[in-house]
Amino acid sequence: MVKQESYARRILKEAKMQNSNPAHVPMDPETKLSKVEEEPTINATSFQKLVGCLRYLMHTRPDMAYSDGVISQYIQDPRESHGMEIKHVLRYIQATVGFGIKYDKGSSRQLIGYSDSSHNVDVDDRRSTTGHIFYFVIIRNDNQPAIELSKNPVFHGRSKHIVTRDHFIRECVENEQVLVEHVAGDQ
């Protein structure tokens, strides 16, 4: 097991959150943060330091990847709602301080990757949010057109903007080095 329990405890102590009430999810998926300019600002230096600590902790805590990515978008001009959300993440760390990544001896040596994208969800600029995580075995994705593109070597008019070097996964699929399968986004 690879984990950073003492580092997680140090983050909580420095943020004065070591005795906080635990949260059971790093971020509510319905949370919609934005650049709310009417809200008071918070100390940017402290916020940036916490974001940096969380991003480092994320190396052994992929369960925090989404929340860290969302919070990191507001590093330049953090507001009260952003500070409240980072405190929620810290409360999640309080509840899961011993979490890490477990690698089983003798397990499969295949690579497995999950990819997800939420299109047009950013309240401020309508950008999409994308996340990836890889384990040892196969690639699973909830984007059916991306799967079809990885399997079909024909360039369509809608895919001409994708540079040839970006078709690496397609080549791996063709050479049977990678298996790509669909996983519904609501699971």
Per-residue pLDDT at 166: 55
Q: What is the pLDDT of residues 116-155, one digit of tens each?
A: 666 556 666 666 666 666 655 575 666 677 667 666 656 5
In angstroms, how far is CA 132 from the centroid of its own chain? 7
Backbone angles phi, psi at 116, to 5 degrees: -145, 145
For residues 155 and 161, what is the distance between their CA atoms, to the nearest angstrom?
A: 10
Contacts of 172-179 with CB under 8 Å at 24 or more apart are 178/111, 178/138, 178/139, 179/138, 179/139
Nearest to 141 by CA among 85, 183, 79, 90: 183
Q: Mean pLDDT of all residues in the chain?
A: 79
pLDDT confidence bin for 111, thresholds 50/70/90: low
For residues 129 and 95, the model is more confident at: 95
Q: In what order do the strands lie in the sheet with 139-141?
A: 129-135, 112-118, 139-141, 180-182
Per-residue pLDDT at 174: 80
pLDDT confidence bin for 164, thresholds 50/70/90: low
Per-residue pLDDT at 152: 66
Per-residue pLDDT at 31: 84
For residues 141 and 130, what is the distance between their CA atoms, to the nearest angstrom?
A: 11
For residues 34 and 14, the model is more confident at: 14
Q: HSE on the CB side for 72, CA within 13 Å?
A: 14
Per-residue pLDDT at 26: 93
Per-residue pLDDT at 30: 82
Q: What is the mean pLDDT of residues 147-165?
A: 59
Q: Do residues 124 and 54 make contact, with C-beta atoms less than 8 angstroms apart? A: no
Per-residue pLDDT at 122: 63
Statement: residue 73 has pLDDT above 70: yes
Count the neighbouring beta carbons within 10 Å of the beta carbon of residue 2: 10
Statement: residue 71 has pLDDT above 80: yes
Per-residue pLDDT at 106: 63
Nearest to 10 by CA among 42, 79, 56, 44: 56
